[in-house]
Chain A
Amino acid sequence: MKCEEIEELLPDFLAGRLNSDRAVAVEEHIAQCAQCGEEVEVWKKLALLPQEQPSPALRARFQSMLESYQEGRWEKASLAAERKKFLGLGDILQWLRTPSLSAAWACVLLVAGFLGGRYIDRDTSTSENAKKLSEVQAELHKTSQLVAISLLQQQSPNERLKGVDWSTRVSPDPQILDALEHTLRYDTSVDVRLAALDALGRYGHQPDVSRALVDSLGTQESPLVQIALIDVLVDLHETSAIGPLKRLQHESGVNPAVSQHADWGIKRLS
């Protein structure tokens, strides 16, 4: 048999789909012809490439997606049970922190938007539908918060900035505020700290937040952040900042512009 003839038979031979006569003919040819023999060898050797396993995060992501799909469609009872079983914060955070965060988030938005749209389309005047709509909204809200928190934990300052931005789109929840306070205190990027300060300033009327802002007067080292912080505290009329401002003003090595600004702040607050 010639190579041309073998060529036609080889794929079926490799797939084990030749009848025995033809298979024998191919085998005879292979034994003599180096090139065809090599091809069969390479095909066999492909078995050396192992079957790899995807990471467990893939399953978590899939389940999140399925969950968001089911939440909109299923009966409320089974839904609540599923959600309880499922909404492990860790799972979702892990999912959100994967490199494909944006794609995954897009999936959630798509599904949520789709479901939300369906409910709006229908007659929302009935209390049942209004209830469902508010459920979808609550879920979306919760997910937005998770996105914000997980973005705040990203490696890249840009991502963290996005996280701060996200946090301002949702109504503040203690977890978000904690994350922002942590960012203001410990983030390595001045830009991110400034953005976090800006976001926190909006919630400065909350005692916890204002306390955190006053406290951070003693820890911030960047003149830019210090000055912005003084502005925020003055805007909030935060009189409890006077003491820390005085200490800051007389701290050794403090930037003269900061010291001057602190002085201005003290006068405004007194």
Chain B
Amino acid sequence: MRSDDGRNVTDKTLNNPMSDEELMSQVRSGVGEMLGLLFERYQTPLFNFYLKLTGDRAASEDLVQEVFFRILKYRQSYRVETPFRAWMYQIARNARLDHLRRRKPETSWEPEMSPSVTPTDTAQQAQEAVLLHRALMRMPEEKREVLVLSRFQDLKYEEIAQLLGCETGTVKTRVHRALQELREIFHELQGSGPRAKGSEGAGFRPGSGSVQ
């Protein structure tokens, strides 16, 4: 059930069998060109990571650029043969935190930033995608992040735990709580907007708390 969109594999990277770790080791030892391959592999996943966190395309692109700049700048701090992705996402999170610190007063979510929908989607799916996106944007950043990391970035709970500096069990709990909250917000939004037919679970009402 894990999302299949975690990696964007272009022809260029398909033809290059080198692992992320091998590429990064090369970058570390001064072969900057190899960073181009890592960029091709990760610009889209990182862009989507930021886009789902911020809802802001321009800021997301800035942040992706910042990540690769930092990778280059701090290339010596990459420890050879350790997982590249964990290291990269660590940098990505730090870049995001620095970015937040710099521009505190702005609230990030914008209602007009609705996701684009592929033409094959039905109208109902399109509507649900918009609502889900809005629901995601209404969540506190922390919960949104753990959800985005686990659902879209193709990271294992163990990797996320390492990233957030906590136990794997804690990550699982956080994912679950985030999902609960997302479900609640999603239903609130569905209730307030035009209702999508037949998609709800039987008899559920927002905030009813009938279970447990």
Residues of chain A touching chain B, judged by Cβ–Cβ distance below 8 Å, are 3-4, 7-8, 10-16, 33-39, 41-55, 57-59, 61-63, 65-66, 69-70, 73-74, 98-100, 103-104, 107, 110
A27 to chain B, nearest CB (A): 12
Q: Does B93 contact A (CB under 8 A)?
A: no
When distances are taken between beta carbons in the complex, the residues of chain B under 8 Å from A52 are 47-48, 51, 57, 115-116
Partner among B57, B179, B202 whose Cβ is within 8 Å of the Cβ of A42: B179
Q: List B residues 145-199 near A (Cβ within 8 Å).
A: 147, 150-152, 156-157, 171-173, 175-176, 179-180, 182-183, 186-187
B68 touches A62 (CB 8 A): yes
A12 touches B172 (CB 8 A): yes
Using A49-B129, A52-B57, A54-B44 as known contacts, list a sample of 11 further A-B pairs with CB atoms less than 8 Å apart, ordered by residue number in A.
Answer: A11-B176, A12-B172, A14-B175, A35-B201, A36-B211, A49-B136, A52-B47, A52-B116, A55-B57, A70-B33, A99-B58
Partner among B5, B39, B150, B202 whose Cβ is within 8 Å of the Cβ of A59: B39
Partner among B48, B62, B65, B203 whose Cβ is within 8 Å of the Cβ of A51: B48
Partner among B1, B175, B210 whose Cβ is within 8 Å of the Cβ of A44: B1
A103 touches B66 (CB 8 A): yes
The SS class assigned to the A binding surface is helix
A58 touches B64 (CB 8 A): yes
A39 touches B183 (CB 8 A): yes
Residue picked from B58, B66, B69, most chain A C-beta under 10 Å: B69
- Some 13 contacts from A to B, beta carbons below 8 A apart, are A8-B172, A11-B176, A34-B210, A35-B183, A48-B129, A54-B47, A58-B61, A58-B64, A66-B36, A66-B39, A74-B32, A100-B62, A107-B69
Residue of B whose beta carbon sits closest to that of A2: B212
Q: Does B24 contact A (CB under 8 A)?
A: no
Q: Does B117 contact A (CB under 8 A)?
A: yes
Cα(A44)–Cα(B129), bound, Å: 11
Cα(A18)–Cα(B156), bound, Å: 13
- Going nearest first, the 5 A-B pairs with the smallest beta carbon separation are A11-B172, A48-B129, A54-B47, A100-B62, A35-B211
When distances are taken between beta carbons in the complex, the residues of chain B under 8 Å from A4 are 212
Residue of B whose beta carbon sits closest to that of A8: B172
B211 touches A16 (CB 8 A): no
Q: Does B3 contact A (CB under 8 A)?
A: yes
Contact A69 to B39, CB < 8 A, known contacts A34-B202, A34-B211, A49-B132: no
When distances are taken between beta carbons in the complex, the residues of chain B under 8 Å from A74 are 32
B146 to chain A, nearest CB (A): 10
A49 touches B52 (CB 8 A): yes
Cα(A207)–Cα(B133), bound, Å: 60
Residue of A whose beta carbon sits closest to that of B45: A51
Cα(A11)–Cα(B151), bound, Å: 10
B180 touches A39 (CB 8 A): yes
Cα(A42)–Cα(B179), bound, Å: 8
B118 touches A50 (CB 8 A): yes
B211 touches A7 (CB 8 A): no
When distances are taken between beta carbons in the complex, the residues of chain A under 8 Å from B125 are 48
Partner among B57, B60, B62, B150 whose Cβ is within 8 Å of the Cβ of A15: B150
A3 touches B62 (CB 8 A): no
B65 touches A61 (CB 8 A): yes
When distances are taken between beta carbons in the complex, the residues of chain B under 8 Å from A44 are 1
A3 touches B58 (CB 8 A): no
Cα(A45)–Cα(B127), bound, Å: 11
A190 to chain B, nearest CB (A): 31
Cα(A159)–Cα(B140), bound, Å: 35
Cα(A118)–Cα(B202), bound, Å: 68
B32 touches A69 (CB 8 A): yes
Partner among A8, A62, A107 whose Cβ is within 8 Å of the Cβ of B43: A62
Partner among A10, A59, A70, A110 whose Cβ is within 8 Å of the Cβ of B32: A70
Partner among A46, A47, A55, A73 whose Cβ is within 8 Å of the Cβ of B30: A73
Contact A49 to B69, CB < 8 A, known contacts A11-B175, A33-B211, A59-B43: no
B5 to chain A, nearest CB (A): 4
Contact A47 to B3, CB < 8 A, known contacts A15-B156, A42-B186, A54-B47: yes
Contact A66 to B1, CB < 8 A, known contacts A7-B176, A11-B157: no
Q: Does B128 contact A (CB under 8 A)?
A: yes
Cα(A57)–Cα(B43), bound, Å: 12
B65 touches A37 (CB 8 A): no
